[in-house]
Structure 1
Amino acid sequence: MSVSRLHSGSLRGVDFWFAAYVLILLAQVGRLPLWLSGFAAVLGVLGWIIRRQGRRGIRGRWLAVLALGAAALFWVFYRGQFTVDTAASFLVLTVALKWLELRRRRDLFILFFILCYLVVVTLLFHQSILWAVVLLASLFLLFTGLQVALGASVSGLSGQALRRSGWLFLKMLPVVAFLFLLFPRVGPLWSVPLVSDQATTGLSDEMTPGGITSLVQNDERAFRATFGGEPPPRSQRYWRALILDRFDGRTWSRHEFDEREGLTRVSESAPSDSLEPGEYEVLLEPHGRRWGFGLKDSVPASSNVGMDFRGLPRFERSVDTQTRYRMKRDSETEPRQLSRSGRRFYTQLPEDGNEETREWVARERREAGNKEALVRRFMNHFREKPFHYTLQPPELEDNPVDELLFETRSGFCEHYASALAFMLRTAEIPARIMTGYLGGEPGLNNDYLIVRQYDAHAWVEAWFPDRGWVRLDPTAMIAPERIESGLEAAMSGEGSFLQDDLFSPQRYRDIGWVNWVSLRLDAVNYYWQRWVVGYEGQTQLSLFEKMPGSIGFRELGLITAGAVALIIGAAVLFSVVQQHRRRFRDPWYRLYDRWCRWLEKRGVCGARHTPVSAQVEAAVAAFPEQAERIRAFGSVMNRVFYQPDTDPGPELKQARQLLARIRRQTIHGRSRTAASSGG
């Protein structure tokens, strides 16, 4: 390859790199804005076409203008966002621009290395086994293209380069696996947020009747849960996440929570030892917020999760990657008092609106006599009246509670929870809305539960002085099958379950083979995330604690350093031995070795460290009577070593005969000379 231009081998290597670039861009589509994805794709295709046609490409002046324009657009779009996601997006932009600058050998190496780096960065955002395989395939293509670009004798599409890369990857696989297990997993002391403050699919921190309904048409996983022992029955799996305690007449929201974050310490994952009875482990999907999910009366059982002052799981930083944490059931966690200001806060309502409901509650309150009886009357009202549970409720206008209770009587869980909370507060009973998830489906072999977005649910908690916060779920009165069997059973008559997602496997779970495949694919991803992606400090230590001796991070560091030194030494030794064997499997190398040993024996100093031409001249000077044969032998050897495209096979016999005659004649000539000198 020329220093300034790219030869045909380099162009064939660029083909492999372009294929890898396409795979990497596919992994960026859901993360990048549409304009940046399209921009990166167009520049990549344009740069590849220019290289394939051997054109000079865009001039430096116009390339600089394009780069400045793209950088300005990037700044406008990402202004104020200081996250890893922003930096990774800018890296995609720079890689795309680099495709228009492949002119010199240096550009080739820069493109290769930044593509490799982009693969590693992409793994921060896509950690499923499917994307891991796709990105590994892109690395394979990158290294194959490097072979083709640097070795003109390796054809790009014949399979030779692919076989070499495959053999290289197979040889390195045991080393990578060994270092993966042993290398100490010590996390950084601090980290910037991975993504921006835009939440992904999941619950919102406010609720307007109809908001959760959009989630129940989504089959994405929210989290998986594993229990130490038997899990609670489905009707008791209320996964609490958010408390909504402010009502403006239509929307419920949380009061004044500052969840901004900056540089934070990275928490270690939960350990991987067995779960004790009463413990459960949650593998949480990224949702871009700081809240977690837990059952009532639970406390943290791992160091990476905490609790807020109201007993809900919280993290120090947004959940921007899959997170595994542990909780433990503890019946003593619930506070048993509520201050006077707290009572006022949890009974606040707008001054006007929903007047018909206010009047009805006042009549019921007079007839009930006490608060417990009044709550029973409220719940019986939902059970006895013809309320309808539907994913397609009519829209509510200015007085949504009045319209729901006395006109439409059709809605989803958030409609009824909102109405019940309003009724309780009107009766001066402290109440709040709890949002989270309800239920969970068994995974493969019932090893864990899968909680999906369509399990999103809203219910009410009311305060009683002798019992604390008590769960009240009007949905259980209206559609008990939703509580006992899940959303699909509740919607069987209406047929609206996942109606907007024709390709969801969950929609066709009644088909045996679809459910069989879906469960096994989910299990593969679950164990991949738990044991490979989640193989961090505590998991590593809990694994090595089962082995004899006390092994900590210090011992792991020493073991790893020794193992790396041993691997490097073994690789060097193996390379030397293989090179020696390779040389002496070749008859030309064996012949060359005999020639060098003969020269050394005859006193031609430094023979092995000089070119063949210098060896020939030194031999002619020492044995002028053999000059013709020595030069003929040297000519053959030069063609073999310095003109590899020629076929020297037929000359091997001639070279052997020449060397044999040279050695024989020089021995005989020296014998005759010595005899005449003695006589």
Structure 2
Amino acid sequence: MLKFSPIAASKAKKSAAKPLVLANSTAWLLLVSQCVNVLAIAGELRFWMIAILAMCFGWQAVALLKYRANFRANKPKAQTSTKRRSLINYQEDNGLILISPLLLTLFAVLGCVAIFSSASSLGLLLSMVHLLCFSYVLKGFELTKRKDFYQLFLLGLFVLISALIFKQGIVFSLLVILAIVLNLSVIVHYFSPSNKVANVFKLVSVLLLQSSILAIALFLFFPRLSPFWQVPIAKSAQTGLSDIVQPGDIANLARSNTLAFRVEFADGQVPEYSQRYWRAMVMEDYDGQKWQIAKSHNTQVMASSFELTGNKQLKPITQGDGLDYRVIVEPNFQQWLYVLAVATAQGEVSLFPDYTIQSKKVISQTMAFKFTSYLNSPLDKVLSEQSRQINLALPEQSNPRLYQLGQQLLSQYSNPQDRINAVLNSFSQDMFYYTLQPPLLSNNSLDQFYFDTKAGFCGHYASSFTFLMRAAGIPARVVTGYLGGEVNDLATTGDGQIGHLNVYQYDAHAWAEVWLEGIGWQRVDPTGAVDPSRVDSGLSSQLIEQQAALTSDLFSLSNYKQFDWLNSLRLTIDALDYQWTKWVLGYSTEQQYNLLKKLVGQVLPWKIGLIICIALISSMALILFIFKVKSHLASRRSNSSPSYKLYQTVLFALAKKGIVKAPYSTAGEFALELRENYPELAIAFTRFNQSFEKLSYQQLSASEQQQLLKLMRSQHRQFMQLLAKEV
């Protein structure tokens, strides 16, 4: 039973209250670890916050350089005074900067005000991240006691782990592990400043590897509990498609190389590129400038195309063979999922009457969903009057020239298909062109795009086409999602089946759907009339060049696909990241249960406890084994060292003279025995033995070791001369 000790608590309190003195190497290591921790989450910080943090780090670096210059010049280092007359004081003990509490408080308040004023655009999550990073860096300016150092260390770990909220890929996770090694090395080096930094890194790495068995066992077998808190959702943290679309939005998104989701097909057969329209959102409401989801999205029900299941969930009426696949969605802080219509789903999802599917939870981490798609199933052969009115509605006085053109098409062509073909022909014949850099439109004017600029991305063409269809009396709507995706050739199995498909943000796409009597909703992609390669095989070479020039991620390997070896490296990393996502990030409670069932049969609590105990014992056994091996190797190294050989020659020379050191006696006891008959020889042996012990057991620099070994050789000669005279 543990007992509280007032004496131990008092000692711990006094220890934490001691003035902090950091070695110069430890101070530099601390500063580097702070920079690495902030760099891990810098992608989520605003530029002004990064500038503030960089200024603070630069300030500390200048102080450390000043300390180093003073040290080289052999200037005396004054002890840090607890009473500082100036607002800013250079701490001579360890090269750090101390700021007056008044100035530090003022700076902290101003920073908090700046974060609070940006909270509406940042959202709760990113506001908390900004506040955490800001307080973390400010803490480095008040390192006066040991407890401040501990607090800064813990804050650094918290900042580093917080970065995993936003990125969880295998490469980033490995970098975080390396950063954890760096952080742990700081605190180890603090307690052993004479030890080399490389040796500290090695020690921390070995300790982490030794604990990996227990960590893996806990990950695989420990019950996966639900989190005790909910990660707040930040609007500014959302990535990917938006539920409001303006003509240029998709073009901006297409500049990103970020992975949106992966798809794993059950039979390994990937549909043709032109069939891979990943449906996300249906926009039926147009206000003259932007498209958005109709307010009746969650309530309208098409009884002819859907049925209600036992749990009152919508289920589409399907026909033909189904295509089974699994979509692994990257964190985007949204709920929309991506499917090939018409799709049915399993798990915690909601299906809506417009054939879109949502997750019931915000996707704040990598999540997998199973779907079955029936590509030959019609969409709503019967259209409700409510849906017809919604998809024919146009705001008054909106784009009058386009409206007039639609009315002309209505009077000119009685067949709806002829009106559709007339618009598609105009796109292919009237000097329209496809670009990621469309000219700006006044108030997102579709009139200006169609009749004047004639340059746009998929959003421009889908919006103007849908407007024309409604003006021509055909129900129409805009659909957003992704088109195509990249097959990773390295994921191909031995029998030729494809392992998985990658869909990136630059695959974002918008198209139109028109409702035709007897057919239902039919997909019409006006982009195919302007740039057929986009629909058949992806971005054209010209668009790829534009995308590479406009992307904000200059270090992405996707920008260098023209180099075979870099592209091969990119695909290899992607294949590894896919397995990491599938087996580690996607490791669910169901998978854990199935694994336990295979290993132990019926899953019982005592069996899980037994597995964890075995893992703990194995970890301890491994640690003891490594310790024994290291001790043995160290003993062998010490036995072969020059100092040990000198020591053995002394004992051997004494033994030849009949003076034998007993195995159980210490060097001090042996010196006392010598003193009785040979006092001068005992003094020489004591001096020699002290140098040997110091060289064998103390932490010394290389130069100190060389000097001490030189002294030992000198003492060895003197001892051997004295031995020859006296004995």
What is the TM-score of this pair, normalised by structure 1?
0.76
**Rounded Cα–Cα distance in structure 1 between residues aligned with 2:456 and 2:101:** 62
1:35 corresponds, among 24, 48, 73, to 48
Matched, 1:232 2:271: yes
- Evaluate the alpha carbon distance shift between residue 65 and residue 592 of structure 1 in structure 2; reply closer, same or farther with a 3 A threshold: farther
2:621 corresponds, among 557, 570, 580, to 570
Counterparts of 1:250-399 in structure 2, within 5 Å, are 250-256=289-295, 278-301=323-346, 303-330=347-374, 334-383=379-428, 386-397=431-442
Q: Give 1:385 shift.
A: 5.0
Q: Give 1:339 shift.
A: 2.2
2:550 corresponds, among 500, 503, 506, to 500
Aligned partner letter, 2:203: R
Which moves more between the two structures, 343-352 or 87-96? Answer: 87-96
- Evaluate the alpha carbon distance shift between residue 357 and residue 109 of structure 1 in structure 2; reply closer, same or farther with a 3 A threshold: closer
Q: Give 1:555 shift.
A: 6.7
- Evaluate the alpha carbon distance shift between residue 463 and residue 13 of structure 1 in structure 2; reply closer, same or farther with a 3 A threshold: same
1:244 corresponds, among 270, 276, 283, to 283
Which moves more between the two structures, 33-42 or 568-577? Answer: 568-577
- Evaluate the alpha carbon distance shift between residue 544 and residue 85 of structure 1 in structure 2; reply closer, same or farther with a 3 A threshold: farther
**Rounded Cα–Cα distance in structure 2 between residues aligned with 1:38 and 1:402:** 43
**Is the CA contact (8 Å cut-off) linking 1:28 and 1:37 kept in structure 2?**
no
**Rounded Cα–Cα distance in structure 2 between residues aligned with 1:153 and 1:399:** 66
Counterparts of 1:456-535 in structure 2, within 5 Å, are 456-489=508-541, 491=543, 496-501=546-551, 503=554, 505-535=557-587
Q: Give 1:29 shift.
A: 1.6
**Rounded Cα–Cα distance in structure 2 between residues aligned with 1:360 and 1:70:** 56
- Evaluate the alpha carbon distance shift between residue 387 and residue 458 of structure 1 in structure 2; reply closer, same or farther with a 3 A threshold: same
- Partner-residue secondary structure (3-state), 2:43: coil
**Rounded Cα–Cα distance in structure 2 between residues aligned with 1:397 and 1:5:** 64
Q: Which runs of 5+ in 2 are unaligned?
A: 1-14, 68-76, 78-89, 92-97, 299-320, 491-497, 645-660, 699-707, 717-727
Q: Give 1:427 shift.
A: 2.9
- Partner-residue secondary structure (3-state), 1:320: coil
2:203 corresponds, among 139, 164, 169, to 164
**Is the CA contact (8 Å cut-off) linking 2:516 and 2:522 kept in structure 1?**
yes
- Evaluate the alpha carbon distance shift between residue 567 and residue 116 of structure 1 in structure 2; reply closer, same or farther with a 3 A threshold: farther
Counterparts of 1:393-432 in structure 2, within 5 Å, are 393-397=438-442, 400-406=445-451, 408-432=453-477
Q: Give 1:67 shift.
A: 3.4
**Rounded Cα–Cα distance in structure 2 between residues aligned with 1:87 and 1:391:** 35
- Evaluate the alpha carbon distance shift between residue 228 and residue 412 of structure 1 in structure 2; reply closer, same or farther with a 3 A threshold: same
Matched, 1:73 2:114: yes
**Rounded Cα–Cα distance in structure 1 between residues aligned with 2:16 and 2:238:** 49
Q: Give 1:150 shift.
A: 0.7
**Rounded Cα–Cα distance in structure 1 between residues aligned with 2:574 and 2:564:** 16
Q: Which runs of 5+ in 1 are unaligned?
A: 260-275, 597-611, 620-624, 653-679
**Rounded Cα–Cα distance in structure 2 between residues aligned with 1:564 and 1:49:** 48
- Partner-residue secondary structure (3-state), 2:279: strand
Aligned partner letter, 2:185: T
Match of 1:677 in 2: none
**Rounded Cα–Cα distance in structure 2 between residues aligned with 1:24 and 1:250:** 43
Q: Give 1:471 shift.
A: 0.9
Match of 1:122 in 2: 163
Q: Give 1:23 shift.
A: 1.3
**Rounded Cα–Cα distance in structure 2 between residues aligned with 1:544 and 1:233:** 39
Matched, 1:131 2:172: yes
Aligned partner letter, 1:316: K
- Evaluate the alpha carbon distance shift between residue 213 and residue 556 of structure 1 in structure 2; reply closer, same or farther with a 3 A threshold: farther
**Is the CA contact (8 Å cut-off) linking 1:13 and 1:144 kept in structure 2?**
no
- Evaluate the alpha carbon distance shift between residue 342 and residue 553 of structure 1 in structure 2; reply closer, same or farther with a 3 A threshold: farther
Aligned partner letter, 2:548: L
Q: Give 1:233 shift.
A: 0.6
Q: Give 1:46 shift.
A: 3.5
Matched, 1:4 2:18: yes
- Evaluate the alpha carbon distance shift between residue 217 and residue 561 of structure 1 in structure 2; reply closer, same or farther with a 3 A threshold: closer
User: What root-mean-square deviation, in Å, do the aligned CA atoms of Structure 1 and Structure 2 show?
Assistant: 4.5
> 1:337-383: per-residue Cα shift (whole Å, max 9, x none)?
43222211111112224444434433433443343454444445545
Aligned partner letter, 2:372: K
**Rounded Cα–Cα distance in structure 2 between residues aligned with 1:455 and 1:80:** 27
> 1:235-292: per-residue Cα shift (whole Å, max 9, x none)?
1111111111122233222234999xxxxxxxxxxxxxxxx97222222233332212
Q: Give 1:466 shift.
A: 3.0
- Partner-residue secondary structure (3-state), 2:141: helix
**Rounded Cα–Cα distance in structure 2 between residues aligned with 1:237 and 1:184:** 38
> 1:171-208: per-residue Cα shift (whole Å, max 9, x none)?
33444334433333333265132x51125442222222
- Evaluate the alpha carbon distance shift between residue 574 and residue 447 of structure 1 in structure 2; reply closer, same or farther with a 3 A threshold: closer
Q: Give 1:27 shift.
A: 1.4
Match of 2:131 in 1: 90
- Evaluate the alpha carbon distance shift between residue 299 and residue 480 of structure 1 in structure 2; reply closer, same or farther with a 3 A threshold: same
**Rounded Cα–Cα distance in structure 1 between residues aligned with 2:323 and 2:50:** 47
Matched, 1:214 2:252: yes
**Is the CA contact (8 Å cut-off) linking 2:322 and 2:373 kept in structure 1?**
no
- Evaluate the alpha carbon distance shift between residue 143 and residue 414 of structure 1 in structure 2; reply closer, same or farther with a 3 A threshold: closer
Which moves more between the two structures, 223-232 or 312-321? Answer: 312-321
**Rounded Cα–Cα distance in structure 2 between residues aligned with 1:116 and 1:441:** 36
**Rounded Cα–Cα distance in structure 1 between residues aligned with 2:390 and 2:631:** 84
Q: Give 1:491 shift.
A: 4.4
Matched, 1:22 2:35: yes
> 1:449-472: per-residue Cα shift (whole Å, max 9, x none)?
222222222111122353332111
% identity of equivalent residues: 26
Q: Give 1:294 shift.
A: 1.2
> 1:368-412: per-residue Cα shift (whole Å, max 9, x none)?
334345444444554555544344545555794445555554433
**Rounded Cα–Cα distance in structure 2 between residues aligned with 1:391 and 1:569:** 59
Matched, 1:538 2:590: yes
> 1:606-652: per-residue Cα shift (whole Å, max 9, x none)?
xxxxxx99x99xx9xxxxx99x9xx99xx999999999659998999
**Rounded Cα–Cα distance in structure 1 between residues aligned with 2:340 and 2:547:** 26
- Evaluate the alpha carbon distance shift between residue 571 and residue 592 of structure 1 in structure 2; reply closer, same or farther with a 3 A threshold: farther
Aligned partner letter, 2:410: R
**Rounded Cα–Cα distance in structure 2 between residues aligned with 1:151 and 1:642:** 17
**Rounded Cα–Cα distance in structure 2 between residues aligned with 1:343 and 1:514:** 51
**Rounded Cα–Cα distance in structure 2 between residues aligned with 1:511 and 1:4:** 58
1:112 corresponds, among 148, 153, 156, to 153
Aligned partner letter, 1:321: Q
> 1:405-426: per-residue Cα shift (whole Å, max 9, x none)?
5555443322222222112212
- Partner-residue secondary structure (3-state), 1:103: coil
Q: Which runs of 4+ in 1 moved over 6 A?
A: 79-82, 575-588, 635-644, 646-652
Match of 1:656 in 2: none
**Rounded Cα–Cα distance in structure 2 between residues aligned with 1:29 and 1:68:** 22
**Rounded Cα–Cα distance in structure 1 between residues aligned with 2:50 and 2:457:** 38
**Rounded Cα–Cα distance in structure 2 between residues aligned with 1:284 and 1:370:** 42
